[in-house]
Structure 1
Amino acid sequence: MATGHDALREIFVTGLRNAHAVEKQALSIMTPQISRIEHYPEVADRLRLHVDETNSQIARLDEILAGFDTSASALKDTALSMTGGMAAITHSVAGDEIVKNSFANYAFEHFEIASYKSLIVLAEDGGFAQAAPLLKQSLDEEVSMARWIDESLPLVTRRYVQLYAEAGSMEAKV
């Protein structure tokens, strides 16, 4: 039977693998969005920055996992990347794609925030001190992105309405 510390370690490593897969999923959601955006350059620019942050988050998770003599789950990474890609495709057919993507990105950022908060608790409670600062850095980036989406949603919505009124939904969508 596993000790409390062994169980906490196992849960923590599983959480790290899950977070890694979620970050891969985030890339598969954001990358197609960036390639499609035409009329919302500030959104494309912020997504590009967050792609870079996400790649850094993946590297930090890899570093933490290596400290436990393990690595990410290729199966989880692949599965969540595929679902992220399908989500991106689903929104691409919507007339209000940019608005739907903004809603989904906002929700996804909060999912990631919750994940990192939980991992930080596990790191602190498990005595995995080396992981906490790396996880906090990723948490701060996710909070910043969620805040940016929150603050930019009125601008995106208003620009969508303006473009829709001027040229129709197909022109306004991205």
Structure 2
Amino acid sequence: MTDPKANLVDWLRNAHAMEQQAEQMLKAQAGRIEHYPELRQRIEQHLEETRGQQALLERCFERLGESPSVMKDMMGKVAAFGQAIGGAANSDEVVKGAIASYVFESLEIASYTSLIAAAEAVGDTETANVARQILPQEEAMAQWLLEHIPSITVQFMQRDAAENTEAKK
């Protein structure tokens, strides 16, 4: 039988690794986007939010006398690197990147929703509050992407149809 607090700590570690992966993905995307300034600006904004989220999670670990998982963090970074390499090979990189980002934001939303429930179940109101603080940032990014995927797609198609115009990034 697993101690419920052990589950919470494990899920905190997962959230931290997820944010490490998000940071790497966002840095790679922002660094490659050239022709979609609104998307690049929003990604850079969320990158700063992501770094703040990592700091909030790290304070939870300190308060609980725990630490993030080096292995999980490394695996998240490796996964992000693989995604960046794979994405760069696509001729429609910007569109696929926006879609993949939306999917990743949905994962983060579900993860923080679960983390709130777990923290509440073990009486850790501080961790629940941290997750409640992070959740709206993830929801806002997902909503922004959902609203802008159509215009990103159309911009890509227009650029792709124009002669001597790069569209992919």
Please give the TM-score of this superposition, normalised by the length of structure 1.
0.94
1:15-42 C-alpha deviation (Å, 9 max, x unpaired): 0000000100011111111111111001
Tell me which residue corresponds to 1:18. 14
Tell me which residue corresponds to 1:28. 24
Matches within 5 A, 1:140-155: 140-155=136-151
Tell me which residue corresponds to 2:117. 121
Which of 103, 127, 131 does residue 131 from structure 1 map onto? Answer: 127
Tell me which residue corresponds to 1:110. 106
Tell me which residue corresponds to 1:65. 61
2:107 is matched by which residue type in structure 1? Answer: F
1:53-107 C-alpha deviation (Å, 9 max, x unpaired): 0001100110111111011011110111011111011010100000110110000
How much does 1:167 deviate?
3.1
Tell me which residue corresponds to 1:172. 167
Note if 1:85 corresponds to 2:81: yes
1:124-149 C-alpha deviation (Å, 9 max, x unpaired): 11100111121111111000000000
For these two proteins, the number of residue pairs brought into alignment is: 169
Note if 1:52 corresponds to 2:48: yes
Rounded to whole Å, the distance in 2 between the matches of 1:130 and 1:109 is 23
Matches within 5 A, 1:154-169: 154-167=150-163
Tell me the secondary structure at the aligned position of residue 167 of structure 1.
Answer: coil
Rounded to whole Å, the distance in 1 between the matches of 2:126 and 2:159 is 49
Tell me the secondary structure at the aligned position of residue 162 of structure 2.
Answer: helix
Structure 2: 5+ residue runs without aligned partners? none
Rounded to whole Å, the distance in 2 between the matches of 1:92 and 1:40 is 15
How much does 1:48 deviate?
0.4
Structure 1: 5+ residue runs without aligned partners? none
Please give the TM-score of this superposition, normalised by the length of structure 2.
0.97
Rounded to whole Å, the distance in 2 between the matches of 1:132 and 1:32 is 30
